[in-house]
Each structure stands twice: as structure tokens, then as C-alpha cells.
Structure 1
Amino acid sequence: MSKDFCIAIQERRSIYGISKESVISDERIQEIIETAVKHAPSSFNSQSARVLVLLGDHQNKLWDITKESLRKIVPADKFAPTEEKINSFQNGYGTVLFFEDENVIQQLQTNFALYKDNFPIWSHHSSGMLQFIVWTALEAEGLGASLQHYGSLIASEVSKEWNIPTTWTLIAQLPFGKPTVKPGDKEFSPIEDRVKIFK
């Protein structure tokens, strides 16, 4: 494990204060996403991950959809903090949306019936690794991000707005941008309680 990789892992944090600026080009963002999607591990090399990257007006539209979806279920007198939170994501430069293609998973379940119950679980494992790769890579480039989960709430509207195949299941959203705040100190449980090594 290289020192640079260790540092990137340590410095990857949830950054909620982000701006509509980027410290890298759109081409570099695309390169990071494509490399991550291509090389992220997946069970049986299924490559079930799908990604949508929204920038500019598309970024704004996503969080407008989310805000209006939440407005329908959050009481009006309690909506202000929710709106403030969504606005903080909308203030970012872009958002990465992570999906899993159910067609791929179902095909694996058919072809390898012995493991059929595991493929949806393994799919989420793979998605989690991809999310970590993208998040950490953006952090290494100087961008701040946080991982959000509004999937079922906005999936239908997202599919309609960006013509997403119905077989893609929305797993998570990663709004990102130039950091405007530094994260606070992070507390850690004793590592000896969490890692056991036998030699």
C-alpha cells in the first residue's frame, strides 16, 4: 500500500460545505469516474455498476427534484432544515449517481443458481467499493464530497428526467465541489477492539 493511498484514505471525509467550483477539469472528472467504473471489483466480474454524472444545470435539477420530493413528506413547519441540507448539496459542482443494473444480477442468478441469493448482496458490496474509489479519488484531487441516499424517493423522477433504463437501481448520490469548510476532528474507537491478528 503506497503512502499516498494511505493518506487519501485518511483524508477522505464527509464534506458538506462545497461550492459550484471545481479544482479539476470536467475531463479529469470523467477520467476518474471511467477508471473507477472500469476497475472496481465485482462478483464474477459482472461489472453491474452504472454511473450518471450530473454537472451544471443537471446538478441543479437533481437537487430540485430531491427537494420537491421531500417537501411532499416532510411537515411544512419542519421543512427549513431539510431545505437547507438539500441546498448545501445543490451548491456543489456536480453529483455522481451510483446505480446497479438488475439485468446483470438476474442473469447471474439464472446462470449460477447455487449463489442466487448472494448476488444482490455482492452487487451492493461492489457498489460500495466503487463509491469509495470515486469518493477517495475526488478527495485526492482536492474536491470535497459526501455520500447521500435518496434512492427510492427520487428514483422514478431521475429515471424520467435522464432517460435511465428501468433496470438500473439507484443506490447512492455523491455531491461534490470545491470545499468551503474543513471537517471537524473525527473520533475513533480503539483499533485493538476492531482488528484481531493471529500469527
Structure 2
Amino acid sequence: MGKDFYTALKDRRSYYGISKESVVSDERIQEVIKEAVKHTPSSFNSQSARVVVLLGEQHDKLWNITKETLRKIVPADSFGPTEDKMNAFGSGYGTVLFFEDQSVIENLQNQFEAYKDNFPIWSQHSSGMLQFVVWTALEIEGFGATLQHYNPLIDDEVKQTWNVPSEWKLIAQMPFGKPTFTPGEKEFQPLDQRVKFHS
């Protein structure tokens, strides 16, 4: 690893300028994402996270699907910025699709009635942690990424195109690629207003 965790934590940003150039092998990308999925915590060790990784032409196909889906609902005279954004995401090397397996969640709801209402919430917590782990891991490897949410608009076509089980609920999309520019400085609110210590 080129960076320690704390450096990667600070450097992880939303990179909207990305290219199709890869910085590591596809095998390394697969290894990093599998490790993230394996070791990210989940409630009751449910391991409900599911991931689909799209590279090359499959990545391009996703953002073409998203663009054409949005074209149907965004007025033509204002579609330009939306198309530019989709093209920017499509200019990357790949996309990670994050899902949660609803059958796992429903099974837990049936087993533990007292926590029934919480399992969908905890599932989102776990997915959020996985998204962060993958995002930071890609940063360590030298990729830039962003987190996008075009679900549920694209859900049906995504499932049909990549033969995704119906029980998998799409949560987020993470396009990534080699950064083509560095984001500006990030502003932070005062930490004493956000963190309280008691001893």
C-alpha cells in the first residue's frame, strides 16, 4: 500500500475528473474490492452486501443506460449539463455497484421480531461502511472516485443487463478512474461544534 489509513482518509475526495487509464491491474482491483466486502462489518454478521464491478465496455454501458434513462425525464432544452455529467462518469475506468440482499434482511426480520424495523436501517449502515471502505481503498491504489445515486431510476435495466438477482437492491454507484485533476481545498466546520468529549 502506498498510503497509510489516515493519509488515505484525508486524501479521499470526490474526483469528477477521471480517465480510462488504469493505475493497477484488474486483478488488483478485484482483490481490493473482495477484501473490502469480506471485512466490512454488518449487523448480526449478516453479510448482506453484494457488489458488481463493471470495467471497460460494461462500465461504458452503465453510463449510457443512465444517460438514456435520464433523457426520458429531463427536459431536452436543459439536458446538456446532465449529459456532460454522465459522460464524465463514463470517462472513468470502471464502476462499483453496491447492493443489499433483501432476502438476507427479511430472514433476519423473521428470526428476530424485536429488531424487525431496524434491520433495513442497519443494512444501510453496513452498505455505507462498505462504500467508504471501497472508496478509501481505491484512493490508496491511486484511483479517484465519486459516489452516485441514480437508483431506483436505473434499477430494472441494471438487473436485466447484468443478470442481477431480483432480491438485490441497488444502493449506490461508484465510478472510478485515474484522476485528471485535484479537487480544491475542502472546508471544515469547527470540530468543537461537532464532537463532544466527557471524561
Q: Same fold by TM-score, threshold 0.5 exceeded?
A: yes
Per the TM alignment, residue 151 of structure 1 is displaced from its structure 2 partner at its CA by 1.2
CA distance in 2 between partners of 1:181 and 1:102 (Å)? 38
2:190 — aligned with what? 190
2:96 — aligned with what? 96
1:150 — aligned with what? 150
Deviation string, structure 1 residues 24-56 (Cα, Å, up to 9, x no partner): 110000001100000110000000000000001
Deviation string, structure 1 residues 81-101 (Cα, Å, up to 9, x no partner): 000000000000000000000
What SS class does the counterpart of residue 152 from structure 2 fall into? helix
1:54 — aligned with what? 54
Deviation string, structure 1 residues 155-198 (Cα, Å, up to 9, x no partner): 00000000000000000000000000100010000011000001
Structure 1 counterpart of 2:68, one-letter code:
E
1:15-54, aligned counterparts within 5 Å?
Answer: 15-54=15-54
Deviation string, structure 1 residues 103-136 (Cα, Å, up to 9, x no partner): 0000000000100000000000000000000000
What SS class does the counterpart of residue 176 from structure 1 fall into? strand
Per the TM alignment, residue 4 of structure 1 is displaced from its structure 2 partner at its CA by 1.5
CA distance in 1 between partners of 2:33 and 2:59 (Å)? 16
CA distance in 1 between partners of 2:4 and 2:23 (Å)? 19
CA distance in 2 between partners of 1:181 and 1:72 (Å)? 31
Q: Any stretches of 5+ residues in structure 1 without a counterpart?
A: none
1:34-183, aligned counterparts within 5 Å?
Answer: 34-183=34-183
Q: Any stretches of 5+ residues in structure 2 without a counterpart?
A: none
CA distance in 1 between partners of 2:101 and 2:122 (Å)? 13
CA distance in 1 between partners of 2:104 and 2:139 (Å)? 30
Structure 2 length normalisation: TM-score? 0.98
Structure 1 length normalisation: TM-score? 0.98
Structure 2 counterpart of 1:186, one-letter code:
K
Corresponding pairs, count: 197
CA distance in 1 between partners of 2:149 and 2:45 (Å)? 25
CA distance in 2 between partners of 1:4 and 1:26 (Å)? 22
Identity %: 70
Flag as ranges the 4+ runs of structure 1 deviating above 4 A. none
